[in-house]
Amino acid sequence: MRRIFLGFACNNGCVFCAQAGLRAAWKRDDGGRDVAAIEASIDALTDLAPGETVAFVGGEPTVHDELPRWISRAIERGASRVLVQTNGRRLAYAKYAEELAATTAGKSATLALDVSLQGSSREMHEHATRAPGSFAQTVLGLRHARGASIAAAVTTVITRANYRHLADIVRLAHASGASAIRFVPVEDVRPSAASGPPLAPPEAMMAPRLAAARDVARELKIALLNGDLAAGEGRFAGASVTVVPP
């Protein structure tokens, strides 16, 4: 898996975002975007193995208008699979979902999304993202991905705000078209979360909720993923998904 890093810019402001401090440190509206470096890292993909995946990660990859072009460029360089880590909000525009899907039209390459969904309700999701309107856009984005035949997994960071509702999040992910779901402990995302209000639920209280969510996932036949998709761990969309360092 090769990972293409697009900078820290994001239209969400998640309470647990590991990049929040980095984004502020750049003190730039573009979140450290460097188009020349991004395109050079794509052009450097000259030694991809058959079946290898290229992952676009941020920040939020879809805030860059060039993303469809960059995906096409990675496919031209030989990427068999492309994974985009996204909050899915831009896919609320059906035309954008179609534009992403078009990058693989007539090609043997496949495109998959790893979509950040942090709650089963607007209040829960937007408590995490601190972005009004983000819940409706992410859920609609998942539906548009399904409509455009783009495989999507959901990633949910387990916090005190959502741990009681993990089973409902599985149901929503499934109803919205995701084919897989991954739960990540908040301390894995932001180990420094100790320096603020506690974000992690007590382990003993979380465990039964997680077990119930896994039961629902099995019942609905939505795949449960382990590991970091964008680090090459876990399996999704029929392949081991791996992303490349910049």
Q: Which residue has the tokens 């984004």?
A: 23
The answer to whether residue 19 forms part of the interface with ligand SF4 (CB under 6 A) is: yes
What number of helices (H) and strands (E) belong to the chain? 9, 9
**Where are the strands (E) in the chain, listed by range?**
2-5, 53-57, 81-86, 110-116, 151-158, 180-185, 223-225, 235-236, 239-240
CA 126 to mean position of chain CA atoms = 16
Single out the residue of 4, 6, 10, 54 in contact with ligand SF4 (rule: CB under 6 A): 10
Least Cβ distance, residue 199 to ligand SF4 (angstroms):
12
Per CB under 6 A, does 41 bind ligand SF4? no
* Position among 41, 53, 72, 87 found at the interface with ligand SF4 (CB under 6 A): 87
Rounded CA separation 23/9 (Å): 7
In the bound state with ligand SF4, the residue whose beta carbon lies nearer, of 131 and 150, is 131
Does 141 contact ligand SF4 by CB under 6 A? no
Which CB, 116 or 137, lies closer to ligand SF4?
A: 116
**Taking CB under 6 A as the criterion, which residues in 202-231 touch ligand SF4?**
none
Q: Is 17 in the site for ligand SF4 (CB under 6 A)?
A: yes
- In the sheet with 2-5, reading across from the earlier edge strand, the strands are 2-5, 53-57, 81-86, 110-116, 151-158, 180-185, 223-225
With contact defined as beta carbons under 8 Å apart, do 83 and 54 qualify?
yes
**What's the min distance (Å) between Cβ of 43 and ligand SF4?**
25
Under the criterion CB under 6 A, does residue 13 sit at the interface with ligand SF4? yes
Using the rule CB under 6 A, which residue among 14, 67, 237, 244 binds ligand SF4? 14
CB atoms within 10 A of CB 27: 7
Tell me which residue has tokens 């975007």: 33
Q: Which of 7, 31, 32, 58 binds ligand SF4 (CB under 6 A)?
A: 58
60 forms part of the interface with ligand SF4 (CB under 6 A): yes
DSSP letters of 100-134? HHHTTTTSS-EEEEEEE---SSHHHHHHHH--TTH
Q: Please state the closest distance from residue 10 (CB atom) to ligand SF4, in A.
A: 3
Q: How many CB atoms lie under 10 A from the CB of residue 87?
A: 28
| CA–CA distance, 4 with 74 (Å, rounded to integer) | 10
Question: Does residue number 53 form part of the binding site for ligand SF4 (CB under 6 A)?
Answer: no
The site map against ligand SF4 for 109-138 (x = CB under 6 A) is: -------x----------------------
Span near ligand SF4 by CB under 6 A; candidates 7-15, 148-156, 199-207, 235-243: 7-15
Binding site for ligand SF4 (CB under 6 A): 10, 12-14, 17, 19, 58-60, 87, 116
